[in-house]
Every structure is written in structure tokens, then in C-alpha cells.
Amino acid sequence: MNRSDVLISAEELLRLQASGPTPRLLDVRWTLPKPDGRDDFAAGHIPGAIYVDLDTELADHANTEPTAGRHPLPSAEQFQDTVRSWAVTDDTEVVVYDDNSSLGAARAWWLLRWAGLDARVLDGGLAAYRAAGGRLETGASPELEPSHITISPNSLPVIDADAVAAWDGVLLDARAGERFRGETEPMDPRAGHIPGAKSAPATGNVHQGSFLDEAALRERFSALGALEGPVGVYCGSGVTACHNALALAVAGVEASLYPASWSGWSADPERPVETGA
């Protein structure tokens, strides 16, 4: 992959909207303090977009096993039904965006790629679209006729806790540095990080909401040793780890996702923990 395979600029999206057919637009307004962004979507979104609820459509909260983490991946059957509800077909171009540096959009992008589908993230999100002259519309998501698409799950690599424990490569932690170091832990059972992991906060992939260019991302990940050999990514619950996976894809590197992430690892008292830089 390269940048144009992973990201779409606001200017390119506007050209596609003008010339047609318009891509299927997925709006993933989500933050930890406010996981339900439905009212923000209703107040203003890109015309034709549909709202995607990260907690219910991009995660399986029926899985209550603590070691599965706070945002377990949906099953292939669940996600196929979700993709069908978005009226996505084999020929549909999908563009995902949010209003938070693509931290939520990256989770949808990763799942769509995992499902064997083409998808890109709107670089710079809603702010970039508006800055490029794009207008917004208000109201709820449109009613869509479900498709009959069949997904191809496992098109991106996933690893579990045992694979992480035996990982022979670079393991990147997308959380804030203070959580990695174990100075604070507001969400999960224990503070610290997986032994041997390196701190790579997802916020370092962007500047003013847009992704760094390919050269800058390669420089960043090269300094972490992530351009050679296998790379695994995790975070608190498997959401912002997808942001690192996306940034690595821009840099030409395929990463393996540990979906349970720190929330799953730290819930298992048998798993060791490290603290410090």
C-alpha cells in the first residue's frame, strides 16, 4: 500500500462528489469521553454520509470475557451484517471520516480491510472537508436498502495474547506515554505496558489532524525499529492501535493487530507487566 491506497484528500473527495458516483461515506464520531456521536452527526455531516456507532457496529460487547478487552472485534458474521446494512457492495468505494484526527475512522478502515474490502480514510477529517469548501447537511442517517455482499475475513493479520507473549518483532503501544510508563491508568486493571513493547502514541502520526507525509512516517517508525521484521500494534482496547496500523500502511508496512490490547492483557493476572520508559 501507499498513501493514496489508504487516504483520500478532501479535494479528491469533492471531485468524486461532483463527478459521481459518490463513495459510501461512513461517519465515525467517537471519543472515549463521548463514545456516542450521533447528535454531532445530526448537527452537521458530509452529504450522504451515514453514522457509524463504533461501540455497537465496530465492536462486539456481547463478549464479556475480560481478557477479550474493552472493544472486542465483531465476529465475521456480525460485521458482514453491518457492512450489508451500510449498503456496501463489491463495487462500492468506501470513505471513512471523523472529527478527531481519524482515531475512530481508523478502526472502521481496519475492519473493512480485514474484511477484504477497499476503504480509505478522509485525511484531515471533517475539518479538512469544510476547509476545502465542502458543505454539510443536517439530520439523521438516510434509510438504505441492505446489500448482499459476502466479506472475506482475516484479510489483515490478527494476533492473540499468546502470540504477543512470543512476539519476535517490534510491538508498538499507541497509548499516551504516561499510560505506557504506568504513571496513570484511568481505564484498565493494571498500569504499565506489555514487556518489550515500545511507546508510539497514535497522536504522533498526525499534525493538525492530518497524517504526516510518507517520509515523516517512515522516519518515525524507523526510529522505533518498525520498518524491519514483523510489527504488532496494540493500545488500550484495540481502537487507536488501528491508527498506528493505518499510519504504518502509509509507510508501506503491514502490521498485526492485537485486538484485546492492554485492557485484555492487564485483565489476566498471569501476564507480566512492565513500567517505565
What SS3 class is residue 16?
A: helix
Is 235 a residue of the active site? Answer: yes
Give dist(CA 186, CA 5) in Å, integer: 36
Among 94, 164, 235, 242, which one carries the catalytic annotation? Answer: 235
Closest CA to 238 of 152, 123, 153, 160: 160
Are 257 and 156 a contacting pair, CB within 8 Å? Answer: yes
Instruction: Tell me the chain's radius of gyration from C-alpha atoms.
Output: 18
Residue 116, sorted as left (phi over 0), alpha (psi -120 to 50) or beta, turns out to be left
Strands in 20-165 per DSSP E = 24-27, 50-51, 94-97, 119-122
Give dist(CA 220, CA 217) in Å, integer: 5
Give the residue numbers annotated as catalytic, written as ranges: 235
